[in-house]
Amino acid sequence: MTSDLRTCKNCQTELVGRYCHVCGQKEVTRRLSIREILREIPEKVFSMERGLWLTFLSLWSRPGQVCLDYVQGKRQPYVNPVSYFLIGASLQLLSLWFSAPVIRQAVQDSIHAASQKPEQAKIFERMDAMIGGDTAAEMANVYLTVIAQGYTYLAFFAFACPLALLLWMFHRRANYHFAEIMVFTLYVVAHCLVVTAFTTPIFVRFGNVMQLLTAQGLYIGIIIWAHHKFFPPGIGRRLLTLLAMLMAMICFFGAIMVLFGVSWAAYLVAVRLQNP
Ligand SMILES: [Zn+2]
């Protein structure tokens, strides 16, 4: 009699389908075997990968709709916005590791060029003597450490958070909760991080300015594209979204500058302490 009563092995709920309607676990029918364990791996990995691909492709073709779907409760097909953000930030770090030599050289060259100006030459000479090395090379190293942090916590606190706050203030009429605006922001910023992780190593070969322009262009293009369907239509509304993006960018670059200033000062203090 009990043989045809199927219960969930995880929460003991009576099963009506192949998946438990209470906890979501798939029905377990066989004794555990190595084959069973191995069979579970591709299922779990591919279902995550499928979600990742679908999220990535949908954010290209209809980003506003993805955010709207998620907010309105259609969540199963997509990767969670926080996970997608973490994936984007990790890809950026990997990408930075690839292009670090090119960036280091470019920054070093531009600092070298600036240090040739007579009014700055003296300062750099003094710093060279103090460090006992090349100021430009050391500055480039500090800069790289700072932008590596830019893709971890700064991308969230100095970019995504202010962007969400600004969008929330500018689009009060859309009646979204802050958390709903945060979903939009995380998906959009994460998608920008994923896309530019691939474009940066290519465009950085054409110089830092070229790299910066393409990256900023992509950020602006992607958010304007995502605005459609998520926020109310109208050119004025769209300009407000653009304004929020520009202000968040200024905030982000400002944070990088401040962090660079602080890191450089800390470096100089450390050098002073080592060779008094
Ligand atoms: Zn269950």
Distance from the CA of 5 to the center of ligand 1, in angstroms? Answer: 14
Distance from the CA of 83 to the center of ligand 1, in angstroms? Answer: 25
Domain membership of residue 186 as a residue range? 79-274
> Would you say residue 178 has pLDDT above 50?
yes
- Report yes or no on 58 lying in a domain: no
Residues 96 and 26 in one domain: no
- Counting Cα atoms < 13 Å in the Cβ hemisphere of 16 gives 3
Residues 86 and 14 in one domain: no
pLDDT tens, residue by residue, 83-95:
999 999 999 999 9
Average pLDDT, the chain: 90
- Report yes or no on 148 lying in a domain: yes
**Would you say the C-alpha torsion 256, 261, 262, 264 has a positive or negative sign?**
positive
SS3 content of the chain, % helix, strand, coil (to 5): 80, 0, 20
Residues 212 and 92 in one domain: yes
Residues 25 and 86 in one domain: no
Residues 140 and 235 in one domain: yes
**Would you say the C-alpha torsion 192, 194, 195, 197 has a positive or negative sign?**
positive
Residues 18 and 93 in one domain: no
- Report yes or no on 59 lying in a domain: no
Residues 166 and 256 in one domain: yes
Distance from the CA of 6 to the center of ligand 1, in angstroms? Answer: 11
Domain count, the chain: 2
pTM: 0.83
Residues 87 and 25 in one domain: no
